[in-house]
A and B are shown apart, each in its own frame.
Chain A
Amino acid sequence: MSVDARDARVFFVDPGRCIGCQSCVQACTECDTHRGRSMIQLDVLDRARSPQTAPVVCMHCESPTCAEVCPADAIKRTEDGVVQSARKPRCIACNNCVLACPFGVPKMASSLDLMMKCDLCYDRTSVGLKPMCASVCPSQALAYLTPDELARLRPAARPVNTFRFGAQAITTKVQVLVPRGAPVEVIDVTAAMHEPSLGHEVAAEVFDAVLEGADAPEGRS
């Protein structure tokens, strides 16, 4: 399949859809190139208050910080914008990329002395298949779509691929879906870190109302 056809599909993350099932994580560990290790992380935001979870995949930055800080030039970005795992002969396991990536994606496989990260299932996407995580995701919080499919399947959403971390602005190949009407052009990640997890107010509000119910379950227990 040609590079053009491959480019026609884009990887989207829609955090509002995530249900925390870990299918993505489990499927990622099945890849032959990193068997038993997941290159995706599922973050549980604040389980005491909300069931909210968020999948963290490599965003495949246009100017990848991981590659920029690599002293051994081990991290390559393909022509079609996929930032690959460190090349084994070059990687010196210095951990620079692990510390520098603003999204916290690269992981050091200490037993192998090798940095490993998501390469967008290059073995699959390069032959026209969807990445494993976006294939299995039961809520399609991770989705790999053509522009047509995006328009048809996500009429209520809009893609954003610029992020701000303090002073640093980053543009990525992977795009995040936000509600169509939301006035968001750039996702300010530093600010978002201080927001309570979604569903938190619901839990507080609804279950507090429960206590006032005249059935007064609380009073009896």
Chain B
Amino acid sequence: MSDEQPPEGSAPAARRWPEPPLELETIRRFGPHRVDARSARLTAARADERLVKTHCCFCGQQCGVQLVVSGETVVGVEPWYEFPFNQGMMCPKGVKRYLQQSHPDRLLRALERDPGSPGGFRELGYERAIQRVAGEIRRLQERHGPECIGMLSGASLTNEKAYLMGKFARLALRTPYIDYNGRLCMVSAGSGNKKAFGVDRAANPWSDLLGAEVVLVSGANVAECAPITTNYIWQAREHGARVIVVDPRLTPLARTCDLFLPVRPGRDTALFAGMLHLMIEHDWLDHEFIERHTVGFEAAAAEVREWTPRRTAEVTGIAERSIVRAAELWGRAKTSFLLHARGLEHHSHGVKNVLSAINLVLASGRIGRASCGYGTITGQANGQGGREHGQKCDQLPGGRDISDPEHRAHVAAVWGVPVEAIPGPGVDAYELIRRIDRGEIKGLLSLCFNPLVSLPDSGFVRQALQKLEFFVAIDFFLSETARLAHVVLPGSLQEEDEGTITQVEGRVIRVRKAVSCPGEAREDWRIVQDLARALDRAAGFSFTHPREIFEELRRASKGGVCDYSGITWEQVERELGVFWPCPAEVPPGARRPAANGTPRLFEPGSWNPIARGAGPFFFPDGKARFHATPHTGPAEDTDDAYPILLTTGRVVSHFLSGNQTRRIGPLIDHFPEPRLEIHPRLAERLGVADADWVTVESRRGSCTLQAWVVRTIRPDTVFVAYHWGGRRSINQVTNSAQDPISKIPEYKACAVRLRRAEGPPEHAQRLEPQQ
């Protein structure tokens, strides 16, 4: 798709959805309730405790941890000092995560919607539930064809599960319609990386931050969303690095950085254009690198010709002298590392933002060497591996393209099916919801995804999901979305299964089973295999252990861009992680991957399956691509009616849609409910004082919450974190405009207005803060 196409969903149609119901009964029965401590620990004899070396279940850092386990209960956590990435460090989520296990809200049996039962559901036996789900799917598909079933999956799943979900959708459900919640997370970075480098992975291990003279962090609230990365940045600073932070808020990392660039939301491309303009003007370029290893510099240079510091300052709202200083620091450095995350990527021009950041890296020539790095910070646990092995709508395992005949043939051979058995490309997660709304998709299977909380314009999402003829959710807690399901199947927590995950640096690691699934809950891969069997489509779904799935994944990824064929579980355990690409075979003369795989990409002389020795980048000519990236603002900019920009994000004590962290008492207490960050100047003009209730309103919906008057945010922008559901969800307000290439929604900028509310809304009086 071309860059010129207007973003979707940008039409300013005024529409409103009913307020979400309070669901008091459902919440009373299924939570989220809080658990504060494991009383078992105090009485348990320490003798029967064992330590299980595994990883945190939450963010993409994937800290190595040791779970303390007593019988079938996880009773605590102990640092795992030997794991190289975090060496014992953990954020508060990692420390308190153990409380999610043995939680009273845990789903132990399958549920079936029944308005007469308490909370709206009654229990039913596992086997009966499987038969009912298979029956409904068969009934719908017989009447409307296989494509009437959709599937939504998630990037917190292990590689093995992610792989199996893609295969299950294509071969057992026979539908093209599968997509995953990485669509809200890594897709702009992924598309940008593929366009510029031909491969989608952080280019360097984080250890390459050490020795960087300049660390540029753009749109990444590292301290709260990737806490362990903080120590890497501070270590770089100990050794002399200057730290530049680009963010509309003064984040904890920005507080002591060397240069803070308070960008107006949606103007990042302009900032990077201004910086490239100055690099060219002062000849802070690596001509030899540009000449030998890149194409497209001239077009990119022409595009930034007009971006003088003055104009850049006007558009970005950053002082001219700061822009000049940033270009100077970046331009003159001999080593550097650029990191970005959702702040850059959650835009209707997110891919362009990423490409314009990569232009700065390519112009400097500082990549593929020690202390010269680039990386996007993964959000979800398996944000990396989850986007490689086929649960994306247009993708097959190994990062292969579902529309490419050769790729299809390879995977069809591994799966032992004719090529025609693999459906063509589907649609992105939000479009999938739109097709449900239009009645084209009538049945949905979801797991590891809570779209009612995490998708923008959630009023639209709710009414669409309510139209489903049949909705089955696999979940371990009854999420806000699962409350709309007809059948809920009890799935597994991360600590109840074996598998691998690919963390932020592209390092494949092992997660281990610490306890068994309780009650009638099952590992997610078993559940979908049981469904395949009940659908009489069991061929290819007879795995008895995740390890067997990994062995098939190795073969399916072989020869692809994300090549895992040379990785074994033993090696992962021995090396404490193996970085892909790690091909089993390389041609004579090519460099073999090390015992721990390929930590650093794009090294001079490196081999990859696309360039085949022509150069270090993953294109036939081995060269990286500059891109001309004309600046465009947010799809919905401010106007007289909606004069303020809203941007959203996360806090350190909660994770994504909060389905887990909003059940853990100490994490709730740290940040009980969302607040609206607002600069005192704006607050004063609106007559809003700290802790006042305010209603923030867009063309789509509104949300009433307490103001937090702080001078650490741009006066034209307000911020709200998105971890809460129902009437506390800021995604009632956000815009579903999407990037035309990556299809990421524009969470980071939409137009709102604000007014003081009369007082606390009903939900504040009737529900606990996390509910």
A residues contacting B by CB (< 8 A) are 16-23, 25-27, 29-30, 32, 35-36, 47-53, 130, 132, 135-140, 153-157, 198-200, 202-204, 206-207, 209-211, 213-215, 217-218, 220-221
CB–CB B681/A26 < 8 A: no
State the CA gap A30–B711 with chains docked (Å).
Answer: 34
CB–CB A207/B679 < 8 A: yes
With a CB–CB cut-off of 8 A, which chain B residues contact A23? 89-92, 94-95, 227
Give B241-260 interface residues, CB cut-off 8 Å to A: 250-256, 260
The CB with the most chain A CB atoms within 10 A, among B37, B79, B255, B679, is that of B255
CB–CB A26/B95 < 8 A: yes
CB–CB B230/A19 < 8 A: yes
Q: Does B438 contact A (CB under 8 A)?
A: no
CB–CB A220/B638 < 8 A: yes
Q: Residues 315-342 of chain B: 1 if any A CB is under 8 Å from the residue's CB, otherwise 0?
A: 1111100100000000000000000000
Shortest C-beta distance, A131 to chain B (Å), equals: 11
| Stretch of B150-158, B231-239, B593-601, B719-727 on the interface side | B231-239
CB–CB B262/A138 < 8 A: no
Shortest C-beta distance, A124 to chain B (Å), equals: 10
Nearest-CB residue, chain B, relative to A213? B317
Q: Residues 89-124 of chain B: 1 if any A CB is under 8 Å from the residue's CB, otherwise 0?
A: 111101110000000000000000000000000000
With a CB–CB cut-off of 8 A, which chain A residues contact B262? 206-207, 210
Q: Does B670 contact A (CB under 8 A)?
A: yes
CB–CB B235/A48 < 8 A: no
With a CB–CB cut-off of 8 A, which chain A residues contact B252? 18-21, 51, 53
Nearest-CB residue, chain B, relative to A48? B710
Contact flag A156-B231 (CB < 8 Å), given A215-B264, A220-B638: no
19 new A-B contacts, CB < 8 A, other than A32-B42, A139-B230, are A19-B223, A21-B92, A23-B94, A25-B92, A47-B710, A48-B680, A130-B88, A138-B89, A138-B228, A140-B234, A153-B238, A157-B238, A200-B711, A202-B260, A210-B262, A210-B317, A213-B318, A215-B264, A215-B315
Q: Would you list the 4 A-B pairs with minimal beta carbon distance, nearest first?
A: A217-B716, A19-B223, A138-B227, A199-B255
CB–CB B653/A22 < 8 A: yes
State the CA gap A184–B43 with chains docked (Å).
Answer: 49
Size band of the interface chain B makes with A: 35 or more
Shortest C-beta distance, A219 to chain B (Å), equals: 9
Shortest C-beta distance, A15 to chain B (Å), equals: 10
State the CA gap A154–B238 with chains docked (Å).
Answer: 6
Q: Is the interface of B mostly helix, strand, loop or mixed?
A: mixed
Ordered by A's residue number, 6 sampled pairs between the chains whose C-beta atoms are within 8 Å are A48-B710, A130-B79, A207-B711, A210-B318, A217-B638, A221-B715
CB–CB A221/B92 < 8 A: no
Q: Does B41 contact A (CB under 8 A)?
A: yes
Task: Give the tally of cross-chain contacts (CB within 8 A).
Answer: 186
Q: Does B540 contact A (CB under 8 A)?
A: no
Shortest C-beta distance, B68 to chain A (Å), equals: 9
Q: Does B714 contact A (CB under 8 A)?
A: yes
CB–CB A21/B224 < 8 A: yes
Q: Which of B96, B255, B711 contacts A198 (CB 8 A)?
A: B255
The CB with the most chain B CB atoms within 10 A, among A23, A47, A48, A199, is that of A23
Contact flag A22-B690 (CB < 8 Å), given A32-B42, A36-B36, A221-B644: no
State the CA gap A23–B96 with chains docked (Å).
Answer: 9
CB–CB B223/A207 < 8 A: no
CB–CB A214/B638 < 8 A: no
Contact flag A135-B238 (CB < 8 Å), given A19-B230, A23-B95: no
CB–CB B90/A136 < 8 A: yes
Shortest C-beta distance, A194 to chain B (Å), equals: 19
Give B675-726 interface residues, CB cut-off 8 Å to A: 679-682, 685, 690, 709-717
Q: Does B757 contact A (CB under 8 A)?
A: no
With a CB–CB cut-off of 8 A, which chain A residues contact B92? 21-23, 25-26
CB–CB A213/B224 < 8 A: no
Q: Does B473 contact A (CB under 8 A)?
A: no
With a CB–CB cut-off of 8 A, which chain B residues contact A21? 91-92, 223-224, 227, 252, 652
With a CB–CB cut-off of 8 A, which chain A residues contact B253? 19
Contact flag A213-B314 (CB < 8 Å), given A16-B256, A198-B256: yes
CB–CB A48/B227 < 8 A: no
Q: Which of B77, B91, B317, B712 contacts A138 (CB 8 A)?
A: B91
CB–CB B710/A156 < 8 A: no
Shortest C-beta distance, A145 to chain B (Å), equals: 12
Shortest C-beta distance, B37 to chain A (Å), equals: 5
CB–CB A206/B260 < 8 A: yes
CB–CB A199/B91 < 8 A: no
CB–CB B714/A207 < 8 A: yes
The CB with the most chain B CB atoms within 10 A, among A18, A47, A206, is that of A206
CB–CB B714/A210 < 8 A: yes
State the CA gap A156–B234 with chains docked (Å).
Answer: 11
With a CB–CB cut-off of 8 A, which chain A residues contact B319? 206, 209, 213
Contact flag A210-B90 (CB < 8 Å), given A19-B227, A21-B223, A202-B260: no
The CB with the most chain A CB atoms within 10 A, among B81, B239, B644, B710, is that of B710
Contact flag A220-B643 (CB < 8 Å), given A203-B712, A207-B679, A215-B314: yes
